[in-house]
Amino acid sequence: MNENGADGFPARRNSHRQNGVIQPLLTDLYQITMAYAYWRAGKIHDTATFDLFFRKNPFSGEFTIFAGLEEVLKFLENFHYSDSDILYLKETLPSVDPAFFDFLANLTADDIILHAADEGSVVFPRVPLLRVEGPLIVAQLLETTLLTLVNYASLVATNAARYRLASGVNVQLLEFGLRRAQGPDGGLSASKYAYLGGFDGTSNVLAGKLYQIPVKGTHAHAYISSFSNCKELTQRTIKHKETGEEIDFVDLCNEWKDKLTPFLKFLRVLKEESSDGELAAFASYALAFPDSFVALVDTYDTCRSGLLNFCAVAMALHQMGYSPNGIRIDSGDLAYLSKTARATFERIAAHYELEWFKNLTIVASNDINEETIWSLNEQGHEINCFGIGTHLVTCQRQPALGCVYKLVEINTMPKIKLSEDMEKVTMPGKKDVYRLYGADGHALVDLLLQVGEEPPEPGSKILCRHAFHESKRAYVSPAKVECLYKVFWKDGKICEPLPHLKNSRQRVADSLKTIRQDHKRNLNPTPYKVSVSDRLYHFIHDLWLQNAPIGLLS
C-alpha cells in the first residue's frame, strides 16, 4: 500500500495534485458498511451504473451551471485507502472481517468509467451530470464524495452566473466572502466557483495563489479610523512619477482640498466639517499605493467628507503623475450615493478638462444580493463594480442544490426507484443525453435516450416526450444536435484534458448564450424542457408497472 505523502496528497504515480481533505474517507459511514455487506454477500464482481443528478433548479431559476468535474477527476485518479485509513477503519469497525480491509487496501477507481457533461455547461433537472459505471462496491464508495464535490460547486457557480446576468457584462464582480464562508475549505471553494461562474476576482489571497484568480482589495474602516489628523503622518513626501521631483504630498492634498471645496457646494460640503483623519488615511494609503489608489469613503459621511477628501488626494496623485482608481461605498443608499459620486467626478473632470476623472471606478459592497442589483439597475445606479460576500458564498436564498446519486442498473439489469412523489421516481438504465438546437442557435430541449438508440440527426423529426406525463409530447426538428456526454475517465486514466478553470469560466458564458432569455430572466422564467425518446418513455413505464405492487380491494 502507498501511504499519503508528506504534503497530504496520495502518493500515486502521474496523479494531479489534490486537496488533501478530498480522500476516500471523506464519505458517510454507511457507504463503507454497505461495501462490507456487499463484500460479505459475494457481490465483489457485480457491476453497476449510477446517475448523479438534481431534481430542481436553484434560486427559483430555470438553469444550473455544472461545476466540480475537475475535482471529481482528481479524486478518481487519487482514490486509494492509505495505511492510516485502514488502521482507522479497523478501530472504527472492530467486528468486521479483517479480510475486508485487505480488499479495501487494494481498491482503486481504475475500473470505473465516468461519462459527464463539460464543466461550466448549463444543465437542467433530471439530466445526469455524471454517469458512473463499474464495480458495484467501488461505485457505491464514490457516492458521498462525488456529491459533495458537485453540489456546492454547482450551486455557487450558478449563483455567480445569476449575479453576472443581473449586473451585465460591463460591471466588474468581486467575491468578498471568505470571512462569511462556511469554514476555510468553503471559502476556497466559493472563490474558485464564483470565478468559474463569471466573477472577475476575489479578495481571497490563497484562492488567488492556488487557482490563479485575480485578487483585489482596498482597506477597511479600521484603517481610516486609525488616523486622527494629518499632523501625525511622518511619511509625507512623494516623488513625481516622471520627473522624480519630491514634494510634501500631504500639503499638496490640503491645497487641492481648498481648491475643490467650492465645486462641491451642491453636496453641502464645508471643509471644516470634513474629517482631517480621513484625509490623513487617504493620503497615507495613496503614498503606499499611488498607482492603484481606491478609497473607502463612507467611514464618516460619504457626501460631506469622503468624496471631498478622496478627490483632493486623487487630484494630488494626478499632479504627481499617478492615476487613482476610484472609491468604494460600503453603506447607505447605494444608488443615490453612486450617482452623487459620479456627478462629483464629472464636475471636476469638466472644470479641469480631465476626461478620465469622470470615469473613476465606483465599487459598492454592503451585503449585496441579486435582488439588490436588480433594484439598483431600476434606479439607474452609477456603480462600476460590486463586491459581494455573504449572499454569494453562503447561497442564502438556497443553501443546497440537492444532487442525488441513484442506482439505475445492476449487472446490466435496469433498476427503477418508485415513489408516491413522482419527482423521486428514477429513470432506469444507461442513458445518453443530447441537446437539440433551433435555427436561431438557441437550445430547444435536452433529450435522453437509451444507450444504443440511434442518436438524433439535424433536420429529422424527433418525438420528444415528458418522462412521466403521457400527454406532454412534441415533435422537434433540430437545426443542430449536440451530445452532452464525454468519457472523462476510463481504464484508470483521464480521457479528456483536465478542465481548466479559465476554460470552464468561458464555457459558462458561451453556454448561457445558447439559452433563450426567457429561461434566464429573473422573474417567472420559462421552464426549459427535458424530454425522453419514445423508446425510453415506454421502457420506463413498462418497468414501472413490473415493479409497482398491485393493490387489493376487499
Which residues are 486's β-sheet partners? 116
3-state class of 221 per DSSP? helix
Structural domain 218-383, CATH architecture: Alpha-Beta Barrel (3.20)
Measure the CA dihedral 135/138/144/146, to 10°.
-70
pLDDT in tens, 299-312: 999 999 999 999 99
Is the distance from CB of 177 to CB of 391 less than 8 angstroms?
no
Tell me the three cell numbers of residue 322.
499617478
Cα 36 to its chain centre, rounded Å, is 36
3-state class of 253 per DSSP? helix
Domain with CATH 3.20.20 in the chain: 218-383
Rounded to whole angstroms, the Cα distance separating 446 from 412 reads: 25
Rounded to whole angstroms, the Cα distance separating 85 from 345 reads: 62
pLDDT class of 7 with cuts at 50, 70, 90: very low
Rounded to whole angstroms, the Cα distance separating 305 from 327 reads: 13
Rounded to whole angstroms, the Cα distance separating 326 from 297 reads: 10
Residue 262 neighbours by CB under 8 Å, 6+ apart: none
- Which of 151, 152, 140, 68 is CA-nearest to residue 109? 140
Which residues are 494's β-sheet partners? 489
Q: What is the mean pLDDT of the chain?
A: 95
pLDDT in tens, 236-290: 999 999 999 999 999 999 999 999 998 887 777 777 789 999 999 999 999 999 9
Domain with CATH 3.20.140.10 in the chain: 29-162+398-547
Enter the pTM of the model.
Answer: 0.94
Residue 122 neighbours by CB under 8 Å, 6+ apart: 63, 64, 65, 66, 443, 508, 511, 512, 514, 515
pLDDT in tens, 403-421: 999 999 999 999 999 988 8
pLDDT in tens, 140-173: 999 999 999 999 999 999 999 999 999 999 999 9
pLDDT in tens, 82-107: 999 999 999 999 999 999 999 999 99
pLDDT in tens, 452-474: 999 999 999 999 999 999 999 99
**Percent of the chain's residues with pLDDT above 70:** 97
Alpha helices in 23-92 (DSSP H): 29-40, 69-78, 83-92
Alpha helices in 294-409 (DSSP H): 307-319, 334-352, 370-378, 390-393
**Alpha-carbon distances of 69 from 119, 202, 507, 538, rounded to whole Å:** 6, 21, 13, 32
Q: Determine the average pLDDT of the residues in 507-524.
A: 97
Fold held by 29-162+398-547: nicotinate phosphoribosyltransferase (3.20.140)
pLDDT in tens, 350-392: 999 999 999 999 999 999 999 999 999 999 999 999 999 999 9
- Which of 508, 523, 509, 516 is CA-nearest to residue 375? 523
- Which of 277, 275, 312 is CA-nearest to residue 293? 312
Tell me the three cell numbers of residue 106.
487494494
User: Quick one: pLDDT at residue 14?
Assistant: 56
pLDDT class of 67 with cuts at 50, 70, 90: very high
Residue 435 neighbours by CB under 8 Å, 6+ apart: 443, 445, 446, 447, 481, 482, 484
Dihedral sign for Cα atoms in the order 225, 231, 235, 240: positive
User: Counting runs of H as helices and runs of E as strands, what totals does the chain give?
Assistant: 17, 23
pLDDT in tens, 309-347: 999 999 999 999 999 999 999 999 999 999 999 999 999
pLDDT in tens, 212-230: 999 999 999 999 999 999 9
**Owner of C-alpha cell 462525488:** 146
